[in-house]
Amino acid sequence: MSTMEMPKPQVEHGFLERMVGLWEVTSTSMGHDEKWVEVCRSLNGIWFVAEGSGEMPGGGGPATTILTLGYDPAKGRYVGTWLGTMMNHLWVYEGEVSDDGSTLNLYTTGPDFANPGKTGDYREQIIFTDDDHRTFNSSSKQPDGTWQQFMEAHYARKR
């Protein structure tokens, strides 16, 4: 029986390690202000799991989101998924960190909310302004190749 060597955290995992902790989240999405809480934990420095919980706007009830992120040395890319109780689609990410080390750009394809039945390309960004503050935004790719932001959330570390 062969033994598989456990992966070791890479230098790239350092960006994700910064996300570990308890965060207070405020966002504006489609004209609604929302307040959430997110807890991010590390699985041996290889995978990072962030679970968010809050209330949907307009009396939509409680909601939960789960973001998973890691770094795949074979691909040379960050990889991950996002799911939420407010939709049935599993979002699958691939991306990279900006040259200055402040922003993780994640790219995905999913339902085109403006054109039901079609798919669209999306970019989500995790931007650290300092160790205790980060921003998450979502943008859709426009026909001319530019990105149009439609959601932004601000994270403040609670611990």
pLDDT for res 149: 94
Whole-number pLDDT of residue 57:
73
Residue matched to tokens 């902790």: 21
Task: Using alpha carbons, list the distances in angstroms from residue 13 to 36, 52, 61.
Answer: 25, 21, 35
Please give the structure tokens belonging to residue 98. 């900006």
Q: What is the DSSP string of 118-146?
A: -EEEEEEEEEEEETTEEEEEEEEE-TTS-
Q: For residue 121, what pLDDT is reported? A: 97
pLDDT at 61: 85
- Domains of the chain in start order, with CATH, are 13-157 (2.40.128.20)
Q: Residue 23: helix, strand or coil by DSSP?
A: strand
Q: Which residues of the chain have pLDDT under 50?
A: 1
**pLDDT given for residue 29 in this prediction:** 65
Cβ contacts of residue 139 below 8 Å, gap of 6+?
122, 123, 124, 125, 147, 148, 149, 150
Q: Using alpha carbons, select from 143, 106, 150, 153 the residue that is nearest to residue 125.
A: 106
Of 36, 27, 43, the C-alpha closest to 138 is: 27
